[in-house]
């Protein structure tokens, strides 16, 4: 007898029979080529159906040119078990499958599976614990695993991910699951979940060093919101990386925690910076119904010196406005949130409502809060109006001013829900480097709300008021006008204004404007719009004479941004229909 645990070798005849049987099986499995398989699934839909299709071999191989009858039948035999496996992640453990396989007359096959997915298993006992050094951390995450609710593997994995993220964001880099289990009792049909996260020790930031040339390391450290000894956090590293990229100083920012050099749970960090090209040039050509064809040349010097100063200039040329604008920017103590800026501009304007030249210098301080931007500035303007009987021959004014912008939106390119509010106050005093006195306030609000899917309701309102002895005391460039692409559509740019008996537009001391618009998606990135506008510029609130208009339009979310094409007509006047074209974001 052969030793225990060994197998007797087959007799020669048995070997020949076994080999013959193997050949016959292979021949049967290969056989003549079968056609394609039409696979039909009943009883499941959505993500469950997609997962079944992904698991189901007969579905994945349905168009293979290497199918044989034997292969088709084998795939059919595997299908019920694969369908059950595919539905388990959705908490379905009582899946019943009835399958039919039939050959067609054209050599193809038809496979049909009637699936009864059964109920989802309910969550039974839930035991989620955080142990180790981080067990007393405040505000642990809530996991979406509640007794009695349907169990899914996605919710289970999400709970694990939340716990790991919670630990890592508080510096517990070695956190691991000491226990992570799901026990499904098919008799009681419930799933008991146990998760125990062992945090391990807490890690802290060590020294943060910069690998770069050209910038003062002390200046770069102003962009870092953490200090050595703070709890280590991936979120803080991403914030640092994003802040440095947003400066436009660097083309690439790489952040490298040195895990191999950890001492006393302190993680040193290297930040590698690749400088951007110092100069940026842009040339653009555009069109607006307010200004006509316009060309723009823009130059920016991204960085000057070791403290991150920058400068730039822009030249705009159009039939109505020609302007040269230059700036010099100085980052301040918190460069992510504030900077000082000097600006100088020279402009010539020639519109249907006003003509003249304007030179201006400006010093401003910009501060950014979470949702607010504040600008405190002082302007000195020298303006020479032309052909304006309601103006001085020249204006020179020192104009302190302050402006605030508040903005909340879901998408800066195509906003479905959002609000923007702007407020500004400015003034000048005759004798204080000025030859006229006025005090002016202005406010503008725009809100976008989606009452239905693929529908937006857009409301706008503007109000401005000026305290001055007469409109002649207000420089032409600081007066109010209405009408145009972004005002009362149906009227020309700055057409609405007080005017002299000869029809000359003078601009007004005050402004009131309102608009209500609805747009709806027609197909793809195309939208249809309808709107009503009303407003005017005037000198006396008792004589506002608000002008209404109405129109329709088309919106196209193009690769270069939102394009708005409107056709509008005044409702009170005999004006013609006007076309308005605007390119740019809503807010």
563: pLDDT confidence band, cut at 50, 70 and 90? very high
Instruction: Give the pair of three-digit tokens for residue 223.
Output: 């962009």
Distance, CA of 207 to chain centre = 33
**Residues sharing a CB contact under 8 Å with residue 401, sequence separation 6 or more, in sequence order:** 376, 377, 378, 379, 424, 425, 426, 427
**Residue 255 in this model has a pLDDT that exceeds 60:** yes
Residue pLDDT, tens place only, 127-170: 999 999 999 888 888 888 999 999 999 999 999 999 999 999 99
Which has more pLDDT, 247 or 21?
A: 247
Secondary structure (3-state) at 219: helix
Residue pLDDT, tens place only, 203-232: 999 999 999 989 999 999 999 888 899 999
Sort 289 into a burial class: Cβ within 10 Å, 0-12 / 13-18 / 19+. Answer: middle
Distances (CA, A) of 532 to 459, 480, 548, 554: 10, 21, 7, 15
- Using the structure block, give the residue that is written with the tokens 């379905």: 92
**Residue 20 in this model has a pLDDT that exceeds 70:** no
Round to whole Å and give the CA distance between 137 and 21. 67
Cβ contact 101:111 at 8 Å: yes
**Phi, psi dihedrals of residue 150, rounded to the nearest 5°:** -60, 140
**Residues sharing a CB contact under 8 Å with residue 138, sequence separation 6 or more, in sequence order:** none
Cβ contact 273:241 at 8 Å: no
Sort 238 into a burial class: Cβ within 10 Å, 0-12 / 13-18 / 19+. Answer: exposed
Round to whole Å and give the CA distance between 117 and 80. 12
pLDDT at 36: 87
Length in residues, the chain: 587
34: pLDDT confidence band, cut at 50, 70 and 90? low
Round to whole Å and give the CA distance between 452 and 405. 28
Round to whole Å and give the CA distance between 420 and 462. 12
Residue pLDDT, tens place only, 537-557: 999 999 899 999 999 999 999
Q: What's the farthest any 2 CA atoms get from each other in the chain?
A: 129
Residue pLDDT, tens place only, 496-507: 999 888 888 899
Residue pLDDT, tens place only, 327-363: 999 999 999 999 999 999 999 998 888 899 999 999 9
Cβ contact 150:123 at 8 Å: yes
CATH topology of domain 204-275: Ubiquitin-like (UB roll) (3.10.20)
- Let me know if the fold of 204-275 is the same as that of 279-583: no
Instruction: Provide the terminal-to-terminal Cα distance of the chain, rounded to the nearest Å.
Output: 91
Beta pairing, strands 204-211 & 109-116: unpaired
CATH (residue range 28-116): 3.10.20.310
**For the chain, what are the domain ranges?**
28-116, 122-198, 204-275, 279-583
Question: What is the CATH architecture assignment of 279-583?
Answer: Beta Barrel (2.40)
> What is the 8-class DSSP label of residue 167?
H
> What is the 8-class DSSP label of residue 392?
-
Round to whole Å and give the CA distance between 233 and 240. 11
**Phi, psi dihedrals of residue 40, rounded to the nearest 5°:** -120, 130
Round to whole Å and give the CA distance between 476 and 493. 15
326: pLDDT confidence band, cut at 50, 70 and 90? very high
Q: Cα-Cα-Cα-Cα dihedral of 226, 231, 237, 243, to 10°?
A: -30
Average pLDDT over the chain, rounded to whole? 90
Question: What is the CATH architecture assignment of 122-198?
Answer: Roll (3.10)
64: pLDDT confidence band, cut at 50, 70 and 90? confident
Cβ contact 566:542 at 8 Å: no
**Residue 72 in this model has a pLDDT that exceeds 70:** yes
**Phi, psi dihedrals of residue 358, rounded to the nearest 5°:** -145, 130
Q: Cα-Cα-Cα-Cα dihedral of 520, 524, 526, 529, to 10°?
A: 0
**What b/e readout covers 89-102, taking b as 16+ CB neighbours within 10 angstroms?**
bbbbbebebeeebe
pLDDT at 379: 98
Round to whole Å and give the CA distance between 360 and 383. 8
pLDDT at 583: 85
């Amino acid at each position: 007898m052969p030793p225990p645990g060994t197998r007797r070798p087959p007799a020669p005849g048995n070997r020949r029979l076994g080999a013959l049987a193997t050949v016959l099986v292979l021949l049967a499995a290969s056989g003549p080529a079968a056609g394609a398989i039409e696979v039909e699934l009943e009883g499941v839909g959505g993500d469950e159906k997609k997962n079944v299709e992904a698991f189901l071999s007969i579905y994945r191989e349905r168009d293979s040119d290497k199918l044989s009858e034997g292969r088709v039948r084998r795939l059919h035999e595997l299908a019920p078990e694969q369908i059950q496996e595919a539905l388990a992640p959705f908490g379905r453990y009582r899946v019943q499958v009835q399958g039919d396989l039939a050959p067609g007359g054209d050599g193809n096959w038809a496979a049909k599976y009637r699936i009864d997915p059964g109920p989802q298993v309910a969550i039974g006992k839930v035991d989620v614990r955080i142990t180790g050094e981080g067990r007393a951390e405040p505000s642990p995450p809530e996991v979406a695993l509640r007794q009695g609710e349907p169990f899914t593997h996605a919710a289970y994995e999400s709970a694990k991910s939340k716990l790991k993220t919670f630990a890592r964001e508080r510096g517990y880099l070695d956190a691991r699951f000491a226990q992570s289990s799901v026990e499904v009792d098919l008799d009681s049909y419930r799933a008991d979940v146990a998760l125990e996260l062992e945090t391990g020790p807490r890690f802290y930031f060590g020294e943060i060093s910069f690998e770069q040339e050209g910038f003062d390391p002390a200046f770069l450290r102003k962009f870092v919101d953490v200090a050595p000894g703070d709890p280590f956090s991936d979120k803080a590293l991403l914030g640092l990386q994003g802040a440095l990229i947003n400066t436009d100083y660097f083309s690439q920012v790489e952040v490298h925690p040195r895990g191999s050099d950890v001492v006393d749970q302190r993680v040193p960090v290297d930040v590698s910076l690749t400088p951007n090209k110092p100069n940026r040039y842009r040339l653009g050509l555009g069109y607006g119904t307010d200004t006509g064809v316009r060309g723009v040349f823009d130059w920016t010097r991204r960085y000057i010196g070791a403290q991150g100063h920058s400068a730039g200039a822009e030249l705009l040329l159009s039939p109505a406005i020609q302007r040269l604008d230059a700036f010099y920017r100085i980052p301040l103590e918190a460069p992510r949130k504030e900077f000082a800026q000097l600006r100088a501009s020279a402009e010539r304007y020639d519109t249907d409502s006003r003509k003249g030249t304007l030179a201006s210098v400006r010093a401003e301080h910009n501060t950014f809060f979470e949702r607010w931007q504040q600008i405190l500035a002082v302007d000195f303007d020298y303006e020479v109006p032309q052909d304006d009987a309601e103006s001085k021959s020249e204006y020179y004014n020192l104009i302190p001013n302050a402006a605030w912008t508040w903005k909340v939106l879901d998408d800066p390119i195509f906003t479905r829900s959002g609000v923007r509010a702007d407020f500004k106050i400015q003034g000048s005093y005759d004798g204080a480097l000025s030859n006229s006195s006025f005090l002016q306030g202005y406010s503008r609000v725009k809100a976008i709300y989606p009452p239905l899917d693929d529908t937006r309701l857009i409301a706008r309102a503007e109000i401005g008021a000026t305290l001055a002895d007469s409109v002649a005391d207000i420089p032409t460039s600081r007066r109010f006008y209405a009408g145009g692409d972004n005002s009362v559509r149906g009227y020309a740019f700055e057409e609405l204004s007080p005017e002299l008996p000869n029809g000359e537009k003078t601009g007004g001391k005050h402004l009131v404007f309102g608009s209500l618009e609805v747009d709806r998606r027609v197909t793809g990135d195309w939208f249809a719009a309808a709107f009503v506008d009303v407003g005017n510029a005037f000198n006396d609130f008792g004589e506002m004479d608000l002008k209404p208009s109405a129109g329709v339009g088309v919106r196209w979310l193009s690769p270069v941004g939102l394009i708005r094409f409107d056709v509008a007509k005044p409702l009170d006047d005999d004006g013609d229909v006007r076309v308005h074209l605007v390119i740019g974001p809503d807010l």
